[in-house]
Amino acid sequence: MKEQVKDKRTAILKSALKLFTERGFHGTSTAQISKEAGVATGTLFNYFPTKEDLINSLYFEVKGELSRSMGKGIETEITFQDKLKKLWSNLINWGVNNQDEFLFVGQFCSSPYITKFTREEVMKEYVFLHNLVDEGIVAGEIRDFSAELIIAMFYQGSRTVVNLILDSDPSQDENKVLEDGFQIIWRGLAKE
């Protein structure tokens, strides 16, 4: 029984992700999400009482998945620059391999439908990122900018690189674009 519950919830979230990225929040009805998920609208409301609850749950799950993906393998890197590069590589690869999720995060990161509570809970998943930035500042590896600014610039840079990779000629070297993007970020952060 629990497996069936999880499958319906997962189907609803996957359908909502697809439709929210294609049509936006207002352009997507709960009836459309239910139909896409293959469940009754009443079933959707059993899991998510409102469309706002649904988008907040989806945002929390996608941002959590992104955080876990970004942090993979960082602890095995020795230098700060290598840790940051691993984080960058993880982020770019996640964006390229999870296009709907990456688009969703970009579309809804400033949405008024994502509650303050959801944003605060999501940020708990990113403590490691703030700690990494603080580590770089304390070690004198990067300039003493605010962690929020560094993280925002890092993320916005990653969006540009992911879009370049996805929209580029298939013969283009994705690894070079990824490396060049990192070098731009690194040179802007590195302490002279």
> Across the chain, what does the average pLDDT equal?
92
**Based on the domain organization, do 28 and 61 belong to the same domain?**
no
**Based on the domain organization, do 31 and 98 belong to the same domain?**
no
**Based on the domain organization, do 45 and 113 belong to the same domain?**
no
pLDDT beyond 50 at 162: yes
**Based on the domain organization, do 105 and 165 belong to the same domain?**
yes
8 A C-beta contact, residue 30 and residue 47? no
Cβ-proximal residues to 112 (8 Å cutoff; 6+ apart), any chain: none
**Based on the domain organization, do 8 and 86 belong to the same domain?**
no
DSSP state, 168? S
**Based on the domain organization, do 157 and 114 belong to the same domain?**
yes
Question: CA nearest 37: which of 5, 55, 10?
Answer: 10
**Based on the domain organization, do 133 and 75 belong to the same domain?**
yes
Task: Give me the phi and psi of 2, to 5 degrees please.
Answer: -60, -40
8 A C-beta contact, residue 55 and residue 144? no
Domain boundary among 10, 29, 49: 49
8 A C-beta contact, residue 111 and residue 21? no
For the chain, the domain total comes to: 2
Report the pLDDT value the prediction gives residue 171, as an integer from 0 to 100.
77
**Based on the domain organization, do 62 and 42 belong to the same domain?**
no
Instruction: Indicate the SS3 state at residue 135.
Output: helix
Residue spans of alpha helices (H) in the chain: 2-23, 30-37, 41-47, 51-71, 80-97, 99-108, 116-123, 127-138, 147-167, 174-189
List, for residues 125-156, the tens digit of each pLDDT value: 999 999 999 999 999 999 999 999 999 999 99
Determine whether 100 is exposed, middle or buried from the number of CB atoms within 10 Å of its CB (0-12, 13-18, 19+): middle
Arithmetic mean of pLDDT, 26-49: 94
**Based on the domain organization, do 37 and 110 belong to the same domain?**
no
**Based on the domain organization, do 29 and 88 belong to the same domain?**
no
Band of pLDDT at residue 2, cut at 50, 70 and 90:
very low
**Based on the domain organization, do 94 and 159 belong to the same domain?**
yes
Hey, what amino acid is at 98?
Answer: N
pTM: 0.88
Report the pLDDT value the prediction gives residue 6, as an integer from 0 to 100.
63
**Based on the domain organization, do 68 and 158 belong to the same domain?**
yes
Question: CA nearest 102: which of 91, 115, 87?
Answer: 91
CATH number for the domain spanning 36: value is: 1.10.10.60
What domain range includes position 1? 1-49
Report the pLDDT value the prediction gives residue 4, as an integer from 0 to 100.
58
Cα→Cα distances 73→50, 108, 137, 149, Å: 37, 28, 21, 24
CATH number for the domain spanning 140: value is: 1.10.357.10
